[in-house]
Structure formats: C-alpha cells, structure tokens
Amino acid sequence: MSTSLRRGHFYIGLTGSIEYLLNRRLRHPYFGKVGRLSGKVQFGEALVDAAKRELFEETGLTAQTWNLEEMYRKTRFREDGTPVQDVFFYKFFVTDFSGTMIDTTPYQENFWATKHDVFSKNEFDPYDDLDLDERDTPQDFKLVEACGDAEGY
C-alpha cells in the first residue's frame, strides 16, 4: 500500500482521496455490516494498550501516535423494546500506520475505502452509527450516547 500521509483512522493516498480503515463483519450477528475496528479490553489492560493490540491482531498494522477522542455508549433494542446490547467504545485518533495489512480473517474483511464509496455503493452496508468525519487532526475528548435497532438478535 503506497501512501503519502497516514493519519487517524484513515490515510490520504497518492490520489489525494481520504480512505478509512474499515472492516466488514463475517459472522453473526451483524453479518456483512461495515464499520470501524473494535475489540474487547482485557482485565487490567490500559485502553490504549487494548487498542494497539486489537489493531495489530485484526489487521497486522501498528501506529505511532494514539489520542483518545471519545467514549461512545451504544445501546441496542429489539423491536419490542427489549434491550440486547449496552457497550462502551473508546475511539482513538491514530497516526503513522505501518505494517502489512491482513485482508481477511475468519471474523472480518479489512479494507480501505473513501467516505463516498461507503455511503453510495451497494457493496457496503454500514452500521447505523458509522460516522466518517473528514479531518486530519485530533479533536477534544467527548462523551456520546446513542441507541439503535438490534438487527440479527
């Protein structure tokens, strides 16, 4: 992968287009959904260490600089109102990716895509809360809460 600048959860390729590091889920629930990389924090593990470990385990990539930007709480409910998921995500802004990317694992397909492609092509089915903001600098930390439908539960 040739790039001129790698920043955040995306890189700016030689064409000047911003491309985001995303994955397509290859298991249920949410089979086929497209979103950001995620994973669990192990007992006693620092958040940044968990993020670094997950990036490497899921993609084979590493990154130099990590900035915690957001704690995001996502709850999902069945159509009848039954809660089925209540999770916290910690979003990091990272810079300077390196390594050889793992394209596919038993659980996901990793790829780079532009915001336009993700939201305009039928080959992508993004999660209901996927937000790809086009910026190349970190933002101040914030707390966010969101609710969504529990597709597949």
Per-residue pLDDT of the chain (153 residues; tens, 9 = 90+): 333 344 445 555 555 677 889 999 999 989 999 999 999 999 999 999 999 999 999 999 999 989 999 999 999 999 999 999 999 999 998 878 899 999 999 999 999 998 999 999 999 999 988 988 877 788 999 999 888 877 766
Reading the block at residue 50, the tokens are 């968990």
The model's pTM is 0.81
For residue 143, the number of C-alpha atoms closer than 13 Å in the C-beta half-sphere is 0
Q: What is the pLDDT of residue 3?
A: 35
Q: What is the pLDDT of residue 100?
A: 94
Q: What is the pLDDT of residue 153?
A: 64
Q: What is the pLDDT of residue 8?
A: 43
Q: What is the pLDDT of residue 1?
A: 36
10 Å CB burial of residue 130 (0-12, 13-18, 19+) is: middle
Single-letter amino acid code for the residue at 77:
F
**Cα distances (Å, whole numbers) of residue 125 to 4, 57, 111:** 28, 24, 14
What are 78-121's pLDDT values in tens digits?
A: 999 999 999 999 999 887 889 999 999 999 999 999 899 999 99
Rounded to an integer, what is the distance from CA 76 to the centroid of its chain?
18
Query: What is the overall mean pLDDT for the chain?
Result: 86
* CA nearest to 108, candidates 22, 16, 17, 1: 22
Reading the block at residue 52, the tokens are 């670094």
| Domains along the sequence of the chain with CATH | 3-149 (3.90.79.10)
Q: What is the pLDDT of residue 16?
A: 66
